[in-house]
Amino acid sequence: MYKIVKKEVLNPTVTKMEILAPAVARKAEPGQFIILRVSDDGERIPLTVADYDRDKGLVTIIFQIVGATTTELNAKEEGDFIADFVGPLGKASELSGLKKVAVVGGGVGCAIAYPVAKKLHELGAEVHSVVGFRNRDLIILEEEFSAVSDKMVIMTDDGSYGEKGLVTDALKKLIESGNAYDEVIVIGPVIMMKFVCLLTKEYGIKTIVSMNPIMIDGTGMCGGCRLTVGGKIKFACVDGPDFDGHEVDFDEAMKRSAIYKPFEKKAYDEACNLFKGVE
């Protein structure tokens, strides 16, 4: 059993938790993920390691309440326990040697982008962060990104905070103003990552994306997280989750993820009824 040490509501649909998991905290690196089960009979879901404190044995997770399991997890409070917390899984992000990097995050994907930006900052790289949200109320981790970024741009779809527009607008402006990036690292909705990669391909800038398709076992055995990268089948849980964005078949990835939406909606509705009134 793993204790929830701290719980924080970041916005109406996103929650941050610190979990006491010393063995995971000792080994975790940016880009890696864990698989958890809230209860003994619950489903397994992957969540990216958003931060870690090796001294205190804490691992931070940030999740969006979108389905049955995240609804069940969100019903837990500080001092409660979850059944399983396995990791770190996947390959750590390859960040050594980079001197100047644009880190692009969208929505809850910023929870994955932040530890990458933080690690780059610790390694001495110049970090330009571009983060995008639908509106002001959904912004997360602003202070954390600011602390590790040499330059930070916040974009909102409706212009309610920061600059109005898309992350591609801000990134294009940064590139055309003379910033020569060793690499662009983009994490967020698949459609957003696709269009960032189309932009960076025009400028010949290497671009890394973090792919987070459906996962079950986290060891490459179930095949649920398969992707086509460079014309070859890859498994996000063991070959990634980081891949060369210019080689990922985003259209296929979007089609595969859409298959599960009716099931997720049904499970979410059932969970909402189950936890209705739970505070």
Contact by Cβ (8 Å): 127, 121: yes
Tell me what pLDDT residue 279 has.
47
Q: What is the mean pLDDT of the chain?
A: 89
Tell me what pLDDT residue 28 has.
94
Is the Cα dihedral 171, 174, 176, 182 positive or negative? negative
Tell me what pLDDT residue 150 has.
96
- Residue ranges, CATH 2.40.30.10, the chain: 2-89
Residue 87 structure tokens:
């990791």
pLDDT in tens, 211-240: 987 777 777 777 778 889 999 999 888 888
Tell me what pLDDT residue 268 has.
47
CATH topology of domain 100-210: Rossmann fold (3.40.50)
User: Cα separations (Å) of 71 from 62, 118, 167, 195, 260?
Assistant: 13, 29, 29, 30, 17
Tell me what pLDDT residue 134 has.
93
What CATH code would you report for 2-89?
2.40.30.10
Tell me what pLDDT residue 276 has.
54
- Residue ranges, CATH 3.40.50.80, the chain: 100-210
Residue 65 structure tokens:
């309440």
Q: Does the pLDDT of residue 259 top 70, yes or no?
A: no
The pTM score is: 0.86
